[in-house]
């Protein structure tokens, strides 16, 4: 008996792609508009 | 929500907390070790080393106490590295991406096709299952774990084949993180050529970033552009694999050729984020003074380092030896041979395409 195919992993990865893109860009915009100021990140 | 779902979520949160604590410890060591121990060695050890070593120690402790399997849902290497790469885009001028894209695409196409076909051929000669052949070939020629995941979806591989390939990728990537930067310095390569070699040769994106960071900022920039380009080419390989398995291997009745929609589904979207961050930062730097721009982008760089640290810690935490033992020597022999070919070819192409390139 084999394990089920790996569609689920595949799907999770695509969601992580979008999440990473969104969070990365939102953080960049927050830095540029000054919400995350210099010295805040340890 | 059932009790099982609640406990799974709790374990994921606990896993993330473990990654964050080890990440904070990495940052602490990175800042304080050079102060505690004077000398070049303490200064030369950079954050990828602390992060990976702490991840491996955490892995050993969690495995010994029986917690590793439960918490592994929180070890999100792929998510952390991709967010880190999007933020890395902010420190790379759009002009550098545009200039490097040409050689990076040529390098990517030549490397991926030759290493993929070699691995596929050798795995066939050693009698490996077609699905495992596809996973190993995609992993070693494109971008490690994420390519293996994409290929596994395309050929409907079994879970244990994916787990095995992912373990193999990390087992080879960990020593490469230290070996390739060392060889680059022995060969006296420029940072740009070293970066192109690292990006072309090392499989998994997180390890490429770790090795690039060990060489320096310019090497990291070129390595990441080369690797992001390879990531973008996953879609093409996955479509070819889907079609090959549907028509030639499984001969599914009524199978349809994959179209442009399939390409978009398989395209790694964080590549768009990486380019968008570069566009935004290049535009922003054109609107403010040099000093102000530098100070603001430094904050984005600090955030980027945090995400990369979390990814490197997760690599150490995710590493599993058990699935490697189960599959025997043949896949290891295939992967090792392909890795050597990849190492030599990537060096040749990096010298050919990136000599004279400056960031």
Q: Is the pLDDT of residue A3 over 60?
A: no
Alpha-carbon torsion angle A7, A11, A17, A23, nearest 10: -150
Nearest alpha carbon to residue B197 among B104, B59, B75 = B104
Q: Residues B210, B224: contact at Cβ < 8 Å? A: no
**pTM (2 d.p.):** 0.81
Interface contact B275, partner A, CB < 8 A: no
- B69 class by beta-carbon count within 10 Å (0-12 exposed, 13-18 middle, 19+ buried): exposed
Say whether A41 and B83 touch across the interface (CB within 8 A).
no
Residue A11's pLDDT is: 60
Residues B63-106 have pLDDT tens digits of 999 999 999 999 998 899 899 989 989 988 898 898 998 999 99
Question: How far is B45 from B65, CA to CA, in rounded Å?
Answer: 30
Task: Answer yes or no: is pLDDT of B261 > 90.
Answer: no
HEC readout, chain B: CCHHHHHHHHHHHHHHHHHHHHHHHHHHHHHHHHHHCCCHHHHHCCHHHHHHHHHHHHHHHHHHHCCHHHHHHHCCHHHHHHHHHHHHHCCCCHHHHHHHHHHHHHHHHHHHHHHHHHHHHHHHHCCCCHHHHHHHHHHHHCCHHHHHHHHHHHHCCEHHHHHHHHHHHHHHHHHHHHHHHHHHHHCCCCHHHHHHHHHHHCCCHHHHHHHHHHHCHHHHHHHHHHHHHHHHCHHHHHHHHHHHHHHHHCCCCCCCCCCHHHHHHHCCCHHHHHHHHHHHHHHHHCCCCHHHHHHHHHHHHHHHHHHHHHHHHHHHHHCCCHHHHHCCHHHHHHHHHHHHHHHHHHHHHHHHHHCCCCC
Q: How far is B188 from chain A (nearest CA, A)?
A: 35
Structure tokens at B99: 């200039």
pLDDT score recorded for residue B343: 95
Task: State residue B73's pLDDT score.
Answer: 92
Residue B5 pLDDT exceeds 70: yes
CB spacing of B79 vs A42 below 8 angstroms:
no
Q: Do A25 and B284 touch (CB under 8 A)?
A: no
Q: Find the length of chain B.
A: 359
Residues of B in contact with A25 (CB under 8 A): 86, 273, 276-277, 280
Interface check for A15 against chain B (CB to CB < 8 A): the answer is no
- A9 shares contact with chain B (CB less than 8 Å): yes
* Contact between A24 and B273 using a beta-carbon 8 Å cutoff: yes
ipTM over 0.90: no
Digit-coded pLDDT (tens) for B313-334: 998 898 877 767 777 789 999 9
User: A25 and B272: CB-CB below 8 Å?
Assistant: no
In a mutational test of the A interface, the residue from B82, B206, B309 whose CB has the highest number of chain A CBs within 10 Å is B82
Residue B56 and residue B177 in contact, taking contact as beta carbons nearer than 8 Å: no
Asked if A22 is an interface residue toward chain B (Cβ–Cβ < 8 A), one would say yes
Helices (H) and strands (E) in chain A, counts: 1, 0
Distance CA B324, CA B7 (A): 29
Percent above pLDDT 90 for chain B: 56
Relative orientation angle of helices B205-215 and B77-89, to the nearest 10 degrees: 50
HSE (side-chain half, CA atoms, 13 Å) at B149: 19
Q: How many CB pairs under 8 A join A and B?
A: 115
Are B87 and B308 in contact by the 8 Å Cβ rule? The answer is: no
pLDDT digits (tens, 9 = 90+) for B124-174: 999 999 999 999 999 999 888 878 888 887 888 887 788 788 888 888 988
**3-state secondary structure at position A17:** helix
Q: What is the pLDDT of residue B2?
A: 66
Could you tell me which chain B residue has the CA closest to the CA of A38?
B299
B230: pLDDT strictly greater than 50: yes
Nearest-CB residue to B86 (from A24, A40, A41):
A24
- pLDDT score, position B337: 96
The pLDDT of residue B23 is above 60: yes
Average predicted confidence (pLDDT) for chain B: 88
List the one residue out of B298, B280, B242 whose CA is nearest residue B97: B280
Weakest mean pLDDT among B37-51, B297-311, B338-352: B37-51
Report CB contact under 8 Å: A28, B268: no
Across the interface, whether the CB atoms of A13 and B150 are under 8 A apart is answered yes
| B258 or B191, greater pLDDT | B191
Q: Which of A10, A17, A11 is nearest to B162 (CA)?
A: A10
pLDDT score for A1: 38
Residue B211 pLDDT > 50: yes
Which of B24, B82, B303 lies closest to A17 in CB terms? B82
pLDDT at B264: 78
């Amino acid at each position: 008996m084999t394990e089920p195919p790996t569609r689920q992993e595949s799907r999770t990865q695509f969601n992580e792609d979008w999440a990473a893109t969104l969070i990365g860009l939102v953080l960049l915009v927050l830095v540029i508009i000054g919400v995350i100021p210099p010295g805040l990140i340890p | 929500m059932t009790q099982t779902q609640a406990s799974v979520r709790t374990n994921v949160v606990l896993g993330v907390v473990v990654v964050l604590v080890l990440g904070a410890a990495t940052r602490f060591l990175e800042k304080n070790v050079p102060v505690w121990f004077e000398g070049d060695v303490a200064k030369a050890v950079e954050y990828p080393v602390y992060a990976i070593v702490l991840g491996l120690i955490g892995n050993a402790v969690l495995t010994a106490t029986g917690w590793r399997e439960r918490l592994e849902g929180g070890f999100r290497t792929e998510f952390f590295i991709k967010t880190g790469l999007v933020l890395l885009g902010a420190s790379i001028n759009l002009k550098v991406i545009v200039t490097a894209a040409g050689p990076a695409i040529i390098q990517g196409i030549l490397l991926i096709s030759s290493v993929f076909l070699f691995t596929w051929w050798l795995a066939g000669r050693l009698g490996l299952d077609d699905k495992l052949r596809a996973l190993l070939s995609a992993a070693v020629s494109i971008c490690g774990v994420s390519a293996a995941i994409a290929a596994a979806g395309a050929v409907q591989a079994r879970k244990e084949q994916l787990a095995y390939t992912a373990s193999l990728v990390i087992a080879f990537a960990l020593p490469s993180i230290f070996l390739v930067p060392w060889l680059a310095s022995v060969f006296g390569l420029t940072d740009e050529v070293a970066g192109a070699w690292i990006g072309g040769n090392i499989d998994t994106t997180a390890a490429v970033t770790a090795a690039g960071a060990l060489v320096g900022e310019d090497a990291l920039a070129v390595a990441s552009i080369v690797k992001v380009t390879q990531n973008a080419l996953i879609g093409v390989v996955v479509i070819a694999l889907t079609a090959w398995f549907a028509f030639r291997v499984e001969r599914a009745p009524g199978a349809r050729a994959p179209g442009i929609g399939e390409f978009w589904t398989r395209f790694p979207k964080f590549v768009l984020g990486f380019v968008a961050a570069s566009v935004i930062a290049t535009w922003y730097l054109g609107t403010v003074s040099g000093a102000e721009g530098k100070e603001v982008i430094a904050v984005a760089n600090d955030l980027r380092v945090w995400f990369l640290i979390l990814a490197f810690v997760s690599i150490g935490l995710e590493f599993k030896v058990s699935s490697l033992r189960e599959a025997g020597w043949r896949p290891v022999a295939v992967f090792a041979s392909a890795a050597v070919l990849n190492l030599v070819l990537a060096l040749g192409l990096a010298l050919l395409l990136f000599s004279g390139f400056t960031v």
